[in-house]
Structure 1
Amino acid sequence: MIPSHIRRALTTLLPIRQPVFLWGPPGVGKSQIVAQTAASLGLDLIDIRAVLLDPVDLRGLPQIDADGRTHWRAPAFLPVQGQGVLFLDELNAAPPLVQAACYQLILDRALGEYRLPDGWTVLAAGNREQDRAVTHRMPSALANRFVHLEIEAHLEDWVAWATCAAMRPEVIAFLRFRPSLLHDFDPAVASRAFPTPRSWEFVSTMLAGSPDPDVELELLRGAVGDGAALEFSGYLKLWRELPDTDAVLADPDAAPAPVEPGAAYAICEALGRMASPETMPALTRYAARLPVEFGVLLMRDAVRHDSRAAQTESFAAWARDNAAVFV
């Protein structure tokens, strides 16, 4: 399932307190999807790294009370009130005894004397066995307590998230040009770095820090691996030679209009972020000079960036002229 469909599924399952297990390769964004969905539903989120727990951590510590009997004191990270999601991340990487300690919590919503509040749902996530990550085979008794959903990377979902997260435009433009590099993980290849949505976020953060040109390529290699780093480095040279966006807005009829796909993706990404009702006349004139598929891309990016752009007369005129291709 693509991330947007996972979010829709969780929107159904969390309110009815159905335990869910999210499966996916490393770096695909499982934890972020959980956090975003919980926030959208107004739910608290407790993120517990199950792989770091010992079996006794969930049960808590014994204490002899005034009645002379031993009572178990639940750990502070377990909720006692409110509504939310108890997220057991990397559950299948936890030792079997830790997984066994989760049985009662997931099925009966209890651990000894502790009771999970009614407003809370247990959700877990982990890598698949074929991903060559550290995992322990999940016992069938535990697996049967979950609804299982598997996540796959999806470019348009990622672009929507990356735009909202203010990811670097050159990273978004490159992955539109080379979508297969959004997530290119082969468990059969012993590579320490490889392209994933998470590692491209690292790249965006590094570029925001204005790295020294002499070490930039090595930083890219350290994040996304050799092949993707070399391709992206070449793309960055192209990006840095693009027409100045201010010059395009000042004279959209004379500014260079690239037809080479890589450059066209790049200029559309850069200009889309400058959309506003005031800039739409210039953007629509420039879009009309691009190959039709890139004109459509520029207009979609413009509306995504500023929804008011769709209400302008210049956009309406462009849409009428391109009604056959703009859907």
Structure 2
Amino acid sequence: MAIRIDIKELYEIFEATPSEQNIMLVGTHGIGKSRIVEDYFTNKGMKVTALFLCQMSDPGDLIGLPRLNEETGKTDFMPPYWFPTDGEPIVLFLDELNRARPEMLQTVMDLVLNRKLAGRRLPEGSRIISAVNDGEEYQVGELDPALVSRFNIYNLVPTVKDWIKWATSAGLDERVITFIKNKPSMLDSRFDATANSLDKSPDRRAWERVARAIEGVREISTARAKMIAGIVGVKAAAAFMESQKEKSVTGKDVLKSFDKIQAKLEELSIENFPMLNDDILGTLNTLESVAKFTPSMQRNLTSYIKWLQDTNRREAYAYFIKAFLNEAPVRVQNILAKTLPSMLIEFTTFIQEIEA
């Protein structure tokens, strides 16, 4: 069984793993394995080349075509289109490796072991990363144990928080982001063996498509609602449309007008609060200066925290306080330390109690 990791842990593994060691990411479809790899290494200044071996029917598609070397009188191979010829290291991403034909996998063996392809070596510092889907719902083949042994294998399970962070930075439609914050179980589907093979179900990639499709659209028509159902499935689309009837609670709402949204907070299930708390902290972290943390925001934040405590939402309260002390801007913590010293002391005492 592969070790489970989230995106933050994956980035640390990328940093710690020597370039000559290969990495295999196992995970369900739609979680963004290829995008995560591409974004990370592109930001590091490395070129990422993705190869879909399942689309290659002949080893020549991977290693290049043979030609006669007139100088030596021997046959060698023309470098394939993707092979780096400038001497700069690349990240070779072998996507859906376990869907490739057996003859293609045999060709890959020398590449992942010796960094060589038809006698031609990858530039020093190049990395090889593969991704596979694993589970009974996928039509995939078994990988040769000798090939598997050439990879460090990790089961990539991005958290909902990972997706929220990415979606926010990517500028996805706020309605989709807020919906997932309040209904985190709707982000990813679970495999249902009884379902029809053409039944749609939600995943991260699908929610991105929804966000792009409704971007700039103020009112979602019946036709667009059906379009959404075709992207994420009927159940998820119905839940999303229902959420649009009454605006969900965001971190900005809490900081702007706690009294007005308190009734909505009462209706939230306990699983909604970690994301709401993260959203509050995210909003605080966007403040450009101490002056932006107004007295009104201070009062609303204090009221919210006190409400968590008074309504006996201990898990949400503890999560927020611990995250606040660790993640809120120092300038915000300093203001509350001056205006609400007794509450901060109580926060610290409470954390010590639950960790004892």
Q: For the superposition of Structure 1 and Structure 2, which TM-score range results when normalised by the shorter chain?
A: 0.7 to 0.9
Aligned residue number for residue 186 of structure 2: 181
Offset of residue 232 of structure 1: 1.6
Count of aligned residue pairs for this structure pair:
319
Q: Matches of 1:317 and 1:159 in 2, distance apart?
A: 32
Unaligned stretches of 5+ in structure 1? none
Q: Matches of 1:315 and 1:198 in 2, distance apart?
A: 42
Distance verdict in 2 for CA 1:174–1:212, change over 3 Å: closer
Q: Is 1:280 matched up with 2:293?
A: yes
Q: Is 1:61 matched up with 2:78?
A: no
Instruction: Write the letter of the residue equivalent to 2:68.
Output: I
Distance verdict in 2 for CA 1:27–1:319, change over 3 Å: farther
Instruction: Write the letter of the residue equivalent to 2:169.
Output: C
Distance verdict in 2 for CA 1:138–1:272, change over 3 Å: closer
Aligned residue number for residue 200 of structure 1: 207
- Which residue, out of 10, 17, 20, partners 2:14? 10
Q: Is 1:220 matched up with 2:228?
A: yes
Unaligned stretches of 5+ in structure 2? 309-315
Mapped contact 1:92–1:136 kept (Cα < 8 A): yes
SS in 1 for 2:30: coil
- Which residue, out of 88, 106, 111, partners 1:105? 111
- Which residue, out of 116, 119, 122, partners 2:125? 119
Aligned residue number for residue 311 of structure 2: none
Q: Matches of 2:63 and 2:235 in 1, distance apart?
A: 47
Aligned residue number for residue 247 of structure 2: 239
Identity of aligned residues (%): 24
Distance verdict in 2 for CA 1:122–1:206, change over 3 Å: same
Offset of residue 154 of structure 1: 1.3
Q: Is 1:128 matched up with 2:134?
A: yes
Mapped contact 1:17–1:120 kept (Cα < 8 A): yes
Mapped contact 2:19–2:126 kept (Cα < 8 A): no
- Which residue, out of 249, 260, 263, partners 2:266? 260
User: What TM-score results when the alignment is normalised by the length of structure 2?
Assistant: 0.76
Distance verdict in 2 for CA 1:318–1:158, change over 3 Å: farther
Q: Matches of 1:309 and 1:220 in 2, distance apart?
A: 42
Pairwise CA RMSD of aligned residues? 3.5
SS in 1 for 2:181: helix
Offset of residue 283 of structure 1: 2.4
User: What TM-score results when the alignment is normalised by the length of structure 1?
Assistant: 0.82
Distance verdict in 2 for CA 1:36–1:170, change over 3 Å: same
Mapped contact 2:26–2:133 kept (Cα < 8 A): yes
